[in-house]
Structure 1
């Protein structure tokens, strides 16, 4: 049986990681992998996470299963962080295996509700979105999003394409810090998207993987909250990997906002059923870390302060890189880097130019020219800026 399996295409980012490790050149720079790194190149454990884990270790008396949906304390605390004013009579939620698991369960839920569903997804988007949909056999179409000339959002193209979504279709949107481009919609533009969805009856699925990494915890959730208050049905997949720094704990949540309490109950039951079919009970350690932090005022304040430091570090690197490139070129054509938000920016370089950065300067980034700002520090920013110019970008 096993000999009948077909080789699977390797993940491009994981391949890039291995290639980077094998590179023996001094001063090599990894801008590919999508994790936050401090100026020393370390992905740290946050102070509040350490303290929460200590408290859990000291007080936990059992490792028995939680419920199929996960612990209510976790789900309620995280839903409140995302939505602030939680509409309890409309809200269903389940803990998931990371944000990726939440996306998969959201798509499974959509297919249960509408076997003929089509997913509308931004061009470009996080590659795993497309990989999951292809594996599931879900039909999808791409809507215009990134303007490679301005390195901003092609908003007119986006609106025209999203308007083609039908009733009961899914429109997958990035809540903030768009991956891979870093280019975000303004709140006024979100209002226009809401109006289009309201007219068509398509259901938004918001991927909120980077809350707190862009403009702040509340500011980054503002668009999601606007959509949640404006439309009768909304799906939200949120991740704790980045903002709590617990990547390996695989901690996420799927939130479904329904039109009425009866539909909410149906969604809650279906989401628990999907968890049962996929992995039975969700992992708890990361969820318990999050609920411990969010449930304690002092821990929450310390966590929020450290998250602000992370966010401001990335904003400072953006400003420094844009300034270096402005000085080298005598133009503002790279100022989009300072306008982008989150860990990523897409330079708009060709694959050949990205290869030149790797070959000539030992600078590694994804082939579509997505670079991880958090892979830089104050000393490597000038190196990258000079290499960008030398590569003809």
Structure 2
């Protein structure tokens, strides 16, 4: 049987990680891997996480199962963090999942359970796991235009033109903030127009909310999601704690379903519990409990928010410095978008040949579509990087 397996296409980012490790050059720079890095190039454990883990270690007296939907205290705290008071708690079914990716997978399984053969729309471009998971769970896929490669801004006219083809019960996957891989975000006005169109078409929004707090702030980043949630009859949300809590390897995420008056909440909860049971039985607890401790404790929460603000503001400074340096090197405003984008990523809008040239000549590792990890920019070498990029294009 196993001889029938065929080789799977390699993950380009994972491939690049290996290439970077094998590169012997001292001056090499990794701008590809999607994790936050501090000034020293490390991905730190946040102060509040350390403190909460210490408290958990001292107080936890059992490693028994928690429940199919996970730690409901964690789920409720995440609901409040994501949705605030935009939607009554009585309309929300939540489940813990292994990371944001696990939440996406579970919600797409739920879509398939509700409507086999449903169509899921996602932006072009988008995070590569979106189309991969949609295909894996057996759903139909369509794309909508999102990014203008010339201006490196949102192609909103193209997006709305494509979404005009929506049919009732289609699912539209939208990045809640800090679009990956482009860094180009919808404005509040554009979000409102998308909301109105989805309501008109009877389509369901599915928000991938992986970067809350990495754009303009926890509340600011949630504003458009909450405004949409308050208006639509139903919504799916996948939330991740990988970035804003730095819990990458602990796989902490939550899946939420907002239901309308024609849907029984208990049935949705039962379906989500069943899917958890089938896929991984009980979700991992450690990281979720750490998040719950932080969000419930005023002192730990304040320290977490302060450190998250430091991380966010550092990335904004790096964006501004890089935009200034590129302006000097190119004597143009071509890269001004870099300053305006938000989150950990931006697409530079340079050719694949230029990306390969930067890697070969300078040891600067960028994903093939020219996506760069802003947090990976070494602040003291930004001038050097800008000069290399200008030379490559």
Question: For 2:31 and 2:22, how far apart are their aligned partners in 1?
Answer: 15
Per-residue deviation, 1:261: 8.0
**Is 1:91 equivalent to 2:80 in the alignment?**
no
Q: CA deviation at 1:330?
A: 1.9
Q: Is the 8 A contact 1:163 1:197 kept in 2?
A: no
After superposition, the C-alpha distances for 1:346-376 in whole angstroms (9 at most, x for unaligned) are 0111111100110111000110000000111
Q: CA deviation at 1:136?
A: 2.1
- Partners of 1:238 and 1:387 lie apart in 2 by 37
2:62 matches 1:62: yes
> Do the aligned residues in 1 keep the contact of 2:147 with 2:154 (CA within 8 Å)?
yes
Residue 75 of structure 2 corresponds to 75
- Say whether 1:205 aligns with 2:192: no
SS in 2 for 1:122: strand
Contact 2:36/2:43 (<8 A) preserved: yes
Q: 1:380: how far off?
A: 2.3
The DSSP-based 3-state class of the residue aligned with 1:248 is coil
Cα distance in 1 for partners of 2:50, 2:114 equals: 41
Report whether the alignment pairs 1:311 with 2:315. no
Following superposition, the deviation at residue 3 of structure 1 comes to 2.4
Is the CA contact (8 Å cut-off) linking 1:90 and 1:261 kept in structure 2?
Answer: no
State the shift of 1:133 in Å. Answer: 1.5
Partner of 1:11: 11
Structure 1 residue matching 2:249: 3-state secondary structure: helix
CA distance in 1, matches of 2:389, 2:113: 47
Report SS of the residue matched to 2:230: helix
Give the C-alpha shift of residue 383 in structure 1: 1.8
Question: How many Å apart are 1:333 and its aligned residue?
Answer: 1.3
- List runs of 5+ in structure 1 lacking aligned partners: none
Q: Find the residue that maps to 2:389 and give its secondary structure.
A: helix
1:73·1:291 contact (CA, 8 Å) conserved in 2? yes
Distance 1:110 1:131 in 2: 15
Deviations 1:76-101 (A, max 9, x none): 00110001115112100000010000
* Aligned residue runs from structure 1 range 202-281, under 5 A: 202-260=203-261, 262-281=263-282
Cα distance in 2 for residues equivalent to 1:203 and 1:383: 46
Within-5 A mapping of 1:144-223 = 144-223=145-224
Over aligned residues, Cα RMSD in angstroms?
Answer: 0.9
TM-score by length of 1: 0.98
Residues in 2 aligned to 1:280 and 1:121: alpha-carbon distance in whole angstroms: 29
Whole-Å separation in 2 of the counterparts to 1:335 and 1:90 = 42
TM-score by length of 2: 0.98
Q: Does 1:300 align with 2:301?
A: yes
For 1:143, the equivalent position in structure 2 comes to 144
Determine if contact 2:116/2:139 at 8 Å carries over to the other structure. no
CA distance, structure 2, for counterparts of residue 28 and residue 382 of structure 1 = 15
